[in-house]
């Protein structure tokens, strides 16, 4: 049998040219450091990119050193600082070139009268963010050693901001819920498909491949630096990096207070699970609406469900098992977005992201969280990382149209309790509706538990493109 063709116009993934993070979560590398960088000097930036490219982990077999992972991503301002020609910059997506801070209002972040984000520490005030170096290692000393080595290799013209250090990767995020369960299966990925995994086209993750519309979207060209077809995009993707502080104490205090007020055996755990759409164990409310079967690890079928089929409408009510307003149902409405279930599944496939988040700050047990003082209820959260071929159609669509929407699917004055953003507490009435029989429950005055502390939109280039960027910056043709 003839080998499948590889290269432009082919759907065979060139794994050796793809940064590993696109297809691998680096789950055995529990400790991460994210280093924000400023390119103060263009030639120095080019020299550094050329040097670090040899250490960048690739997706293909043999492309990853066993104990370390290194990835590099560049912001729109970073591409400008590398001196790319205007036609190349103009062909990059608008949202990348605008940068995350300028989109803060539409993302539901708190902004000032000039729409500038409030409460951000990343990038550091007054510092331009041009690139992010992502480092992963197996132990804290190995991570610190890798970080020190990489910082030592930065030339004078590439300036590091304070590093962002993750907590050890666990299967739980800070509110205490199992995380990392639902990921799309990307055609061409090296691992097998899991039960319930939606299949998305390669071009939904990687540039240069056929996407959910059956098209090969145009990508930016960079001539004169030896790229096949001058294609800068091929085998690259976009990275959303968001630092989200979680008020874990406020979260559990609120649900404990609501449980006491409601009485009748309602618990904080039961209410918080309605906000998330899953129990802390990871079991979906669709599978177990009343009691958490509480397995130590989520069972193999934990992601194998639909809403229309498995949580059907009764007595004219939707979401009796899993509330429509819950985080997971908003973030991926599966077959229940509208139209027929099959139509909904097709549409939803155009709005999936590959999540690669890591927690930071000390963990706190959910049963101890409510007792945290306000001072201790700070400094922990999620580095939310999401990858996709379109930031606008993936992350921004989910955030804007589903999570922050105050009228999502017939809800009223509700935002996603987990990541729906919105103005500061007290400026907007926020509720959570829990469909129930004979009468629904409605929680009022839901505080904001997650606060954005910064972030960036970045381009995660393929390996050839990274080397080409280095060549261009070092000596433009």
Interacting residues with ligand HEM (CB under 6 A) = 173, 175, 177, 179-182, 244, 246, 276, 278, 327-328, 331-332, 353, 382, 384, 395, 398-399, 403, 418-419, 450
Tell me whether residue 159 or residue 194 sits nearer to ligand HEM (CB atom): 194
Residue 399: CB minimum distance to ligand HEM, A: 4
Tell me whether residue 276 or residue 467 sits nearer to ligand HEM (CB atom): 276
Q: Which two tokens stand for residue 45?
A: 């930036």
Spatial separation of the C-alpha atoms in residues 23 and 400, rounded to whole Å? 26
Residue 32: CB minimum distance to ligand HEM, A: 16
Tell me whether residue 136 or residue 175 sits nearer to ligand HEM (CB atom): 175
From residue 383, give the alpha-carbon distance in Å to each of 173, 256, 278: 10, 27, 21
CA angle 128, 226, 132 (to 5 degrees): 25
Strand positions, DSSP E, 40-115: 68-75
Spatial separation of the C-alpha atoms in residues 110 and 123, rounded to whole Å? 16
Tell me whether residue 179 or residue 231 sits nearer to ligand HEM (CB atom): 179
Residue 365: CB minimum distance to ligand HEM, A: 16
Tell me whether residue 136 or residue 177 sits nearer to ligand HEM (CB atom): 177
b/e map of 26-44 (b: 16 or more CB within 10 Å)?
Answer: beebbbbbbbbbbbebbeb
Residue 427: CB minimum distance to ligand HEM, A: 21
Residue 153: CB minimum distance to ligand HEM, A: 33
Tell me whether residue 75 or residue 404 sits nearer to ligand HEM (CB atom): 404
Contacts of 119 (CB under 8 A, 6+ apart): 110, 451, 452, 453
Residue 323: CB minimum distance to ligand HEM, A: 13
Q: Residue 392 in contact with residue 95, Cβ under 8 Å?
A: yes
Contacts of 81 (CB under 8 A, 6+ apart): 39, 42, 45, 128, 130
DSSP class of residue 395 equals: I
How far from chain centre, in Å, is Cα 50?
A: 28
Residue 446: CB minimum distance to ligand HEM, A: 15
Residue 243: CB minimum distance to ligand HEM, A: 10
Q: Is 361 left (phi over 0), alpha (psi -120 to 50) or beta?
A: left
Tell me whether residue 107 or residue 227 sits nearer to ligand HEM (CB atom): 107
Tell me whether residue 278 or residue 287 sits nearer to ligand HEM (CB atom): 278
Spatial separation of the C-alpha atoms in residues 473 and 158, rounded to whole Å? 13
Spatial separation of the C-alpha atoms in residues 435 and 324, rounded to whole Å? 8
């Amino acid at each position: 049998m003839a080998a499948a063709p590889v290269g432009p116009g082919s759907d065979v993934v060139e794994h050796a040219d793809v940064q590993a993070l696109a297809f691998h979560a680096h789950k055995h590398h529990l400790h991460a450091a994210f280093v924000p960088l400023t390119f103060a000097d263009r030639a120095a930036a080019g020299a550094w990119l050329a040097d670090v490219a040899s250490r960048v982990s690739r997706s293909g077999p043999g492309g990853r050193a066993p104990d370390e992972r290194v990835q590099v991503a560049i912001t729109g301002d970073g591409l400008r600082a590398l001196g790319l020609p205007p036609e190349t910059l103009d062909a990059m997506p608008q949202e990348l070139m605008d940068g995350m801070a300028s989109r803060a209002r539409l993302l539901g972040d708190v902004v000032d009268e000039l729409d500038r984000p409030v409460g951000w520490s990343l990038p550091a005030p007054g510092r331009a963010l041009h690139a992010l170096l992502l480092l992963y290692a197996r132990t804290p000393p190995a991570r610190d050693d890798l970080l020190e080595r990489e910082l030592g290799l930065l030339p004078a013209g590439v300036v590091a901001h304070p590093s962002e250090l993750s907590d050890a990767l666990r299967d739980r995020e800070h509110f205490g819920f199992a995380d990392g369960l639902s990921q799309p299966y990307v055609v061409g990925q090296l691992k097998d498909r899991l039960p319930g995994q939606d299949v998305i086209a390669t071009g939904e993750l990687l540039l240069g491949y056929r996407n959910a519309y059956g098209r090969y979207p145009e990508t930016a060209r960079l001539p004169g630096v030896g790229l096949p077809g001058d294609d800068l995009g091929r085998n690259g993707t976009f990275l959303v990096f968001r630092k989200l502080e979680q008020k874990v104490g406020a979260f559990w205090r609120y649900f404990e207070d609501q449980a006491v007020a409601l009485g009748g055996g309602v618990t904080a755990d039961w209410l918080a699970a309605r906000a998330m759409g899953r129990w802390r164990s990871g079991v979906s409310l669709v599978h177990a609406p009343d009691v958490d079967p509480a397995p130590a690890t989520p069972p193999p079928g934990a992601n194998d469900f639909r809403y229309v089929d498995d949580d059907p409408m009764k007595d004219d009510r939707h979401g009796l098992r899993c509330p429509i307003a819950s985080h997971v149902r908003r973030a991926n409405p599966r077959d229940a977005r509208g139209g027929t279930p099959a139509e909904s599944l097709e549409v939803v496939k155009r709005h999936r992201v590959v999540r690669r988040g890591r927690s930071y700050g000390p963990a706190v047990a959910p049963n101890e969280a409510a007792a945290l003082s306000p001072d201790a209820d700070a400094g922990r959260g999620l580095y939310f990382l999401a990858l996709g071929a379109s930031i606008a159609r993936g992350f921004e669509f989910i955030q804007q149209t589903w999570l922050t929407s105050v009228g999502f699917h017939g809800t009223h004055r509700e935002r996603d309790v987990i990541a729906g953003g919105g103005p500061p507490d007290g400026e907007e009435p926020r509720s959570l509706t829990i469909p129930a029989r004979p009468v629904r429950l409605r929680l009022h005055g839901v505080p904001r538990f997650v606060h954005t502390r910064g972030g960036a939109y970045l381009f995660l280039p393929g390996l050839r493109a990274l080397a080409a960027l280095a060549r261009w910056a070092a000596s433009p043709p």
